[in-house]
Amino acid sequence: MTYNLVITPHTESQIEHALNYVGFKLQNHAAVISILEDIDSAFNILETVPESFPLCDDPNLRRQGYHKISLKHHSYLFVYRMDMQTIYLLGFFHMLEDYTNKL
């Protein structure tokens, strides 16, 4: 089964902000490419097996059915929810961020 991914404008903005920080502030263009590859890998996984990732630990987010997937090689994660055949990416966060208060 293949799922449709919907990347919210807010999530797109968060990804862009993180990549700009790494690319321009840290001047690490190789890391930007690597993060993009990791994001693409996460998208491919979500399109096929989104139900295999855990619900968020936060009780409020859990009640809303929010899941999280961590990037395999970088300290970022996506928060998403599933609705039938559609996956809504609701946020992109560094693992040290308190994302529970930002959704």
Structural domain boundaries, residue 34: 4-101
Q: What is the pLDDT of residue 1?
A: 81
Q: How confident is the model at residue 12 (pLDDT cuts 50, 70, 90)?
A: very high
The DSSP line for 77-101 is EEEEEEETTEEEEEEEEETTS-GGG
Would you say 42 and 71 are in contact if contact means Cβ atoms under 8 Å apart? yes
Q: How far apart are CA 89 and CA 8, in angstroms?
A: 6
Q: What does the pLDDT read at residue 74?
A: 98
Q: Count up the domains in the chain and report the number.
A: 1
The answer to whether 1 touches 50, Cβ cutoff 8 Å, is no
Q: What is the CATH number of the domain that holds 87?
A: 3.30.2310.20
- The pTM assigned to this predicted structure is 0.94
